[in-house]
Structure 1
Amino acid sequence: MSTPFHRRSFPDYFLSSPLATLIYPLHQLLNHLRGPPHLPPPNARPIRVVCISDTHTLEYPDIPDGDLLIHAGDLCNDGSAREIQAAVNWLRSLPHPHKVVICGNHDSYFDPRSRLPEDRSDASPQNTSSSTYATISSSTASLRSLDDYLTDDPHPRIDWGDNDDIHYLQHSSITLTFPPTTTTSTSSISSTTPLRPRTLTIYGAPQIPAIVPFGPEHAFTYPPHHDAWSNTIPLSTDILVTHTPPQSRLDLSPVYSAGCPFLLSELWRVRPALHVFGHVHAAYGIERVFYDEAQRAWERLCASRKSRARLSRFRSLFGFLRDLFDLSGLVDSARVVMYGVLGVVWARVWGGENRDAGWVVNAACMYRDSGVLRNKPQVVVL
């Protein structure tokens, strides 16, 4: 039986909305033709960011080199401190000078209400009741760090390394500094040009919408109608790391969206240069996003067709017919194409700079639900 996390067949997409199905590849092509959405500043060193997620206790055998490694959650399967520590030990063995990790819904040790008995028996202060744990994140999606609640927690913490090998983020930020480098010019007289250092601010948050009935062992879940995102991400964020995707971006859209609309609204407010997530294995990939009228029109088109995902294939025929007479959908499709073409002309013909744009990466290494890490790590240069 299909779940919201499984990719549907092309006939399902086409019958649900032929308009969105045909516009999607054209929208992506126009975005690609506009060029990279974000380039290193002049005379500043480029930063190579390696993105992975959803390794589920497995170790990817060949992680590319880079300046920064990001893991966007689901390090393990059963959520125990034991499995998480094994995954952390693997990450510590990698040579990247900076590493940032958030947890996912399978990493239940980090959410007190979801901890396994083997971790909870020692983790709970004697005067803390189970009802207290339930109030920590059921309604707020744990919008504060775990340390804010359990400052007296005697459970041995995860060993992240003696020299801050790994920066663990849970509704928190960190600013990392990347030292200057030099480049050698290719001229008759060899010379070196210093490249100034860079800093990047990274914010990480683990909460996910419970679009299916998740059990209590799943961490940081919130009802899909609950807004767990508005005004939570600092405006200074250069790189955003979440476990859930936003709605309509590498979340199996169009139509069969598994992402969060409230996170999407927050992205329009913050507009990070890079957004890394996972969770929906079947939507693995990388996209360019330009915060303009073409993107707004595309997202409206996706949102207006999301309700059709619940229809059977037979009833989806009515969605096919509705597209023929959907004036607002036709207008939005035309806006996607028109503003997309204008963006290409601006960047390629007039030489204009791409602003208010960024990379979006679904870095799930797990290939669908196969139990095998077949999706390669994604590399982005900022």
Structure 2
Amino acid sequence: MAVAMRLVCISDTHSLHGKMLPLPEGDVLVHAGDCTGSGSLPQLDDFTRWMGSRPYEHKVLIAGNHDHCFVRYPDWSREMCEKNGITYLQGIEATIGSLKFYGFPWQPVFRWMSFNAKEDERWERLKLVPEDTDVLVTHGPALGIFDWIPDINEHVGCYALAKRIEELPQLKAHICGHIHESYGFAIRESDGIKFANASTCDARYRPVNPAIIIDL
């Protein structure tokens, strides 16, 4: 079957994008959050210049819990993305080719960092994800899917997100990061949805994981 679009997926680069493995060719570069280390504007400026210079027709970015600049300086942060040709998705959709992307940066509360949201807030925000979404990009994983932390022997993903995924009839791919220990890719047998935890950094914050390719 012919590939309509190739997604090159990364996440959790934490300002170490200059040290990561070379990126493969593709159509859309997708970053699932935590592009900065501490969320400063200079770090975001460096990252958006780098991402904007990558040889992809389209670039999609969402924020993560470390990316405080998108909360503290939203206008400047969005402007940096726009001037570098990056589509920034924060609770909004964008159509690229024949695919509808939706970006969702919020995740369960952890140390009260940026885009942390309590359970009731996550439920309400997830209701806004359009039913005809093809590619859902979230920072945190869904419960039970690439969300395992061995050190605490626990799944830490979002239950509300897992339930919303079940309600999206056209969903083809879910891309996340956040839990570095659960980097990986799988296709669910029951419905064919492609799942990727694309965390570039491992648990020790080394940018050693290669980008994940998703063909749609």
Same fold? TM cut 0.5: yes
Contact kept? 1:246, 1:259, Cα under 8 Å: yes
Partner of 1:96: 56
Cα deviation, residue 61, structure 1: 3.9
Partner of 2:200: 365
Contact kept? 1:365, 1:376, Cα under 8 Å: yes
Q: Distance in 2 between matches of 1:110 and 1:278?
A: 18
Using the aligned pairs only, state the percent identity.
33
Cα deviation, residue 156, structure 1: 7.3
Is residue 2:35 matched to residue 1:66? no
Contact kept? 1:102, 1:241, Cα under 8 Å: yes
Identify the match of residue 145 of structure 2 among 221, 224, 249: 249
Larger Rg: 1
Distance 1:358 1:105, change over 3 A: same
Partner of 2:95: 175
Number of positions where the alignment pairs a residue of Structure 1 with one of Structure 2: 209
Partner of 2:120: 226
Alignment of 1:127-276 (within 5 A): 157-162=78-83, 165-177=85-97, 199-210=98-109, 212=110, 214-215=111-112, 218-223=113-118, 225-229=119-123, 230-252=126-148, 256-271=154-169, 272-276=171-175
Cα deviation, residue 282, structure 1: 0.1
Distance 1:58 1:156, change over 3 A: closer
Contact kept? 1:227, 1:262, Cα under 8 Å: no
Q: Distance in 2 between matches of 1:157 and 1:203?
A: 16
Is residue 2:211 matched to residue 1:377? yes
Contact kept? 1:92, 1:161, Cα under 8 Å: no
Is residue 2:112 matched to residue 1:277? no
Task: Return the structure number with greater strand share.
Answer: 2
Cα deviation, residue 236, structure 1: 1.1
Partner of 1:29: none
Contact kept? 1:169, 1:205, Cα under 8 Å: yes
Distance 1:290 1:76, change over 3 A: same
1:90 aligns to what SS in structure 2? helix
1:202 aligns to what SS in structure 2? strand
Contact kept? 2:41, 2:77, Cα under 8 Å: no
Cα deviation, residue 158, structure 1: 3.5
Cα deviation, residue 69, structure 1: 0.7
Q: Distance in 2 between matches of 1:364 and 1:290?
A: 23
Aligned AA for 1:360? F
Alignment of 1:302-381 (within 5 A): 356-368=191-203, 370-381=204-215
TM-score w.r.t. length of structure 1: 0.52
Is residue 2:16 matched to residue 1:54? no
Aligned AA for 1:243? H
2:81 aligns to what SS in structure 1? coil
Aligned AA for 2:87? H
Aligned AA for 2:95? T
Per-residue CA distance 1:108-156 (angstroms, 9 max, x = gap): 1112xxx3xxxxxxx5xxxxxxxxxxxxxxxxxxxxxx6xxxxxx6x57
2:163 aligns to what SS in structure 1? helix
Contact kept? 2:31, 2:61, Cα under 8 Å: yes
Per-residue CA distance 1:233-286 (angstroms, 9 max, x = gap): 101111000001000001018961110000000000015100000000000000
In the alignment, structure 1 segments of 5+ residues that lack a partner are 1-38, 116-122, 124-145, 147-152, 178-198, 292-355
Aligned AA for 2:120? H
Per-residue CA distance 1:34-66 (angstroms, 9 max, x = gap): xxxxx65xxxx5311100000000112401110
Distance 1:156 1:358, change over 3 A: closer
In the alignment, structure 2 segments of 5+ residues that lack a partner are none
Cα deviation, residue 82, structure 1: 1.3
Distance 1:202 1:367, change over 3 A: same
Aligned AA for 1:55? T
Q: Distance in 2 between matches of 1:206 and 1:375?
A: 21
Distance 1:53 1:156, change over 3 A: closer
Q: Distance in 1 between matches of 2:37 and 2:128?
A: 28
Contact kept? 1:237, 1:270, Cα under 8 Å: yes
Aligned AA for 1:226? D
Aligned AA for 1:93? S
Q: Distance in 2 between matches of 1:363 and 1:220?
A: 19
TM-score w.r.t. length of structure 2: 0.89
Aligned AA for 1:371? Y
